Amino acid sequence: MSRSRAQDDDFQRFMTARWPSLLRTAYLLTGSHHDAEDLAQNAFARAYVKWDRVRHSDDMAAYVRRIMVHAHADRFRRRAVREWFTARLPETPVADQTARVDSRDAIVDALGRLPVRQRSAVVLCYFEDMSHAQVAAALGVRTSTVRSQITRALARLREDGVLTSLARHPAPPPPTLRRPVPQKGAVR
């Protein structure tokens, strides 16, 4: 099948616009920057093959997000060992001292302990701000299944002691960059 230059340009624009959002969702699903990039690239590669179908869908972003969620689930079906054991420990990461990063890491770790379907439902609902119906469409399940997966996931997250401590001591809000407002009669 031959593609026109216009179709390739159309895909390029879509991919460029949706990359940050899709990568963020992939990171929340996988818990790893490297796996997230692989997952997002895999989703776009699959979308490119089906670009005519994706282009004519009601919501292209939802279509590609669904491809990504299914690709993520496929990773667990194949269960190939992707880590190598060595006698030497890898470099020790330097801990970031900000509470915000610690909180984010705790949330990602807690999400990583959830089963794939529960994690997918929580990430799409709460981090992508999708309705239960949209999540159901993305996962290819009924809305009642999404509700039950979210209920179970939230129960498991509540049982997690790390998240309980975060609720007691929330991270400070990020600093905002504000431009100084010039005063009347001030010299610039």
What pLDDT digit, counting tens, does each position of 137-152 carry? 999 999 999 999 999 9
State how far the Cα of 64 lies from the Cα of 154, in Å rounded to an integer. Answer: 26
Percentage of the chain with pLDDT > 90?
Answer: 39
Fold matches, 8-78 and 100-172: no
Note whether 60 and 54 are within 8 A (CB). yes
Which of 7-11, 64-68, 77-81, 95-99 shows the lowest per-residue confidence on average (mean pLDDT)? 95-99
Using left for φ > 0, alpha for ψ between -120 and 50, and beta otherwise, residue 101 falls in alpha
pTM, entire model: 0.53
Q: Where are the domains of the chain?
A: 8-78, 100-172
State how far the Cα of 80 lies from the Cα of 87, in Å rounded to an integer. Answer: 21
- List the one residue out of 10, 2, 15 whose CA is nearest residue 44: 15
- Residue 188 reports pLDDT greater than 50: no
Exposed, middle or buried: residue 114 (CB in 10 Å: 0-12, 13-18, 19+)? buried
Class for the domain spanning 100-172:
mainly alpha
State how far the Cα of 157 lies from the Cα of 71, in Å rounded to an integer. Answer: 24
Quote the DSSP letter at residue 94. Answer: P
The predicted structure's pLDDT at residue 175? 47
Half-sphere exposure of 116 (CA within 13 A, CB side): 14
3.30.450, 1.10.1740, 1.10.3470, 1.10.30: CATH of 8-78:
1.10.1740
Q: What is the largest CA-CA distance in the chain?
A: 69
